[in-house]
Amino acid sequence: MSAYDLAVIGLGYVGMPLAKEASGVGLRVVGLDIDPRKVDALTSGRSYIDDLSDADLDTMLTNGFTATLDQTVLTGSDTIVICVPTPLDEDHRPDLSAVRGAVETVGRHLQRGTLVVLESTTYPGTTDDVVRPILEDASGLTAGVDFHLAFSPERIDPGNPKFGLRNTPKVVGGYTQACRDRAAAFYGRLVEQVVTVSGTREAEMAKLLENTYRHVNIALVNEMAIFCDELGVNLWESIEAAATKPFGFQKFLPGPGVGGHCIPVDPSYLSHAVRKLGYPFRFVELAQEINERMPAYVVARVQRLLNRAKKPVNGSRVLLMGVTYKPDIADERETPAVPVARAFRDLGAELLFADPHVKQWSVDGVEVPREDDLAEAVRKADVTVLLQQHSEFDLDMVQQRAHLILDTRGVLSEGDRVERL
């Protein structure tokens, strides 16, 4: 009998919900990471994940969950799931270094009969063409014969109160049919619905399709926001009207840019795969271009607001409300607040921020002063930029007290002092 039913590699926003769910159904779970700070925090009962409370973690520890830096735990694990980051490098190309490192570690400890699953988002062909050869070379074992190999894309939506790991359907594709069936049986113990596809490439593509769909549609409404402002059209009202159609339309809203791991990153993985065929994926690259220009457009709109008040940006006090990439969470990954802040700084603005979920915030290594008293902060600011509508914000008070506001989320009433994006 193996020491562990499941080893999770990568104890972040994907790995920890998986470990929590598996621990909750009685599996013996170990978590492996290379960051000693994460292991120390988890071992002492301190969660750093929005969707995992300290109480949740305490229950996991009581159920036998262990976090470790010791790679030898993989030798005694029936199933190994890899949940490491897949960012972009400086040239906007997929960076699989964390995946390769994790897979090499697995390969050194791989035993016959083990199920290995990659959950990290990547381009089609990674599981079969990158992961499999590394595992086979390092272990001397053969995928589909000596061990099982599968891909199952993560679908974690941090801060979503309605859909978590258990009630979100889990897509699974295997290197062989037997690999797929073994992975489906494993996830069937944790989630309500498992959706199988014919291979790992189809599962990898499903994840990229989901996020590219969102990326392109967000770019559509972002570009419409720019020209609707010039046309004098209230796009927010038009979107709400269109959303009353019960078929053929899904509501997407404009904003200051896209953030998080998925939307700014995943479509680039798909674009990379297409470029290897010798031509560009024009839809994705255009969407990337539009969404990446939104922070600059936000700053230009604020400049216009200040101009009307006969104030320059240089020397003006600019308050950024909400600097995370989603409401009601502390996650700052790829937040558009960073390029917005950078641009204001370059223009000489006096920058401040307010965010109940972020205690300290630095941009390019320089700390931005934090305002604890929101009412006083908006009163003192020359202009307030609502970047993220955290539920803790008293928006009625902000609307009443702020001198000028640019609302990038469409949640305030427009008036003499308030403009929507």
Residue 34 three-state SS: coil
| Bridge partner residues of 81 (DSSP) | 8, 117
Strands (E), 154-294: 170-174, 194-196
Do the beta carbons of residue 151 and residue 203 sit within 8 Å? yes
262 an active-site residue? yes
Please pick, among 83, 179, 228, 262, the residue that the annotation labels catalytic.
262
Q: What length does the chain have?
A: 421
Angstrom distance (rounded) from CA 126 to CA 287: 24
The residues near 361 (Cβ < 8 Å, ≥ 6 apart) are 323, 332, 353, 355, 367, 368, 370
Q: CA Rg, the chain, in Å?
A: 23
Nearest in space to 262 (alpha carbons), one of 316, 293, 218 = 218
- Edge to edge, the sheet with strand 170-174 lists 66-68, 29-32, 4-9, 77-82, 115-118, 148-151, 170-174, 194-196
Q: Which residues are catalytic?
A: 262
